[in-house]
């Protein structure tokens, strides 16, 4: 099924058996409504925000193989240093959609993805899928993504007076250094 008729369509990718549709951030609400009503994706299974800060830094060499062995024609498997492809923006928000039909023996899924820089507002989809309420609050709380139009965008997982957004890559892991009992 092709998704080019989705409002704000930018790109469609297939990988590992999953389809990802990238749409423009500003028209996300229309895209969501279209996918719910025209394409029938009536359940928002998950809303995942990812921070790609530091994605382009060069990484150490390594190779990977699979049970058939190494593919000698693929440069990534020669032990050469691979430069990852740069991402369109710092944050991506992926909406995992699912079509639930009572009694069905198939589960069509779709990943709807938008990209945003730090501070860019993303329209809320609470009007389409009410379950997005807490998911968006959590993405705001832990990643700092601003959802425009959300009726109650407050912290949900952390203390109300917490500073910062922990899941960002520039927020430290925290914790304590481990002290060993034999140390001075």
Site for other proteins in 27-86 (CB under 8 A): 29-30, 33-34, 37, 42-46, 48, 50-51, 55, 59-60, 62-67, 76, 82, 84
Q: Per CB under 8 A, does 178 bind other proteins?
A: yes
Look up residue 45 and give its two tokens.
């299974």
Count of residues near other proteins by CB under 8 A: 73
Strand-strand pairing, 43-51 and 9-15: unpaired
Residue of 111, 114, 116, 136 that binds other proteins (CB under 8 A): 111
Residue of 5, 14, 58, 106 that binds other proteins (CB under 8 A): 106
Q: Per CB under 8 A, does 176 bind other proteins?
A: yes
Q: Per CB under 8 A, does 159 bind other proteins?
A: yes
* Shortest spacing between CB 14 and other proteins, in angstroms: 12
Residue of 18, 78, 79, 117 that binds other proteins (CB under 8 A): 18
In the complex with other proteins, the residue whose CB is nearer, 4 or 179, is 179
Residue of 170, 174, 181, 184 that binds other proteins (CB under 8 A): 174
Q: How far is C-alpha 2 from the chain's CA centre?
A: 21
Q: Per CB under 8 A, does 126 bind other proteins?
A: yes
**Residue keyed to tokens 């009694």:** 103
Q: How far is the C-alpha of 164 from the C-alpha of 162, rounded, in Å?
A: 6
Q: What is the DSSP string of 44-77?
A: EEEEEEEE-TTTTS--------BTTB--TT-GGG
Please count the other Cβ atoms lying within 10 Å of the Cβ belonging to residue 162. 11
Q: Per CB under 8 A, does 109 bind other proteins?
A: yes
Strand partners, 147: 122
Asked if residues 134 and 39 have their Cβ atoms less than 8 Å apart, the reply is no
């Amino acid at each position: 099924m092709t998704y080019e008729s989705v409002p704000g369509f930018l790109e469609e990718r297939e990988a590992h058996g999953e389809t990802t549709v990238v749409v423009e951030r500003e028209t996300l609400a229309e895209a969501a409504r279209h996918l719910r009503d025209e394409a029938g994706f009536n359940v928002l299974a998950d809303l995942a925000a990812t921070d790609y800060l530091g994605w382009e830094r060069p990484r150490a060499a390594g190779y990977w193989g699979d049970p058939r062995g190494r593919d000698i024609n693929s440069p990534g498997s020669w032990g050469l240093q691979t430069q990852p492809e740069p991402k369109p923006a710092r944050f991506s928000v992926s909406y995992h959609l699912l079509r639930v039909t009572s009694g069905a023996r198939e589960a069509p899924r779709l990943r709807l993805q938008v990209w945003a820089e730090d501070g860019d507002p993303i329209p809320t989809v609470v009007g389409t899928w009410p379950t997005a309420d807490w998911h968006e609050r959590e993405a705001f709380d832990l990643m700092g993504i601003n959802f425009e139009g959300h009726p109650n965008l407050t912290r949900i997982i952390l203390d109300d007076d917490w500073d910062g957004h922990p899941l960002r890559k520039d927020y430290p892991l925290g914790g304590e250094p481990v002290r060993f009992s034999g140390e001075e």
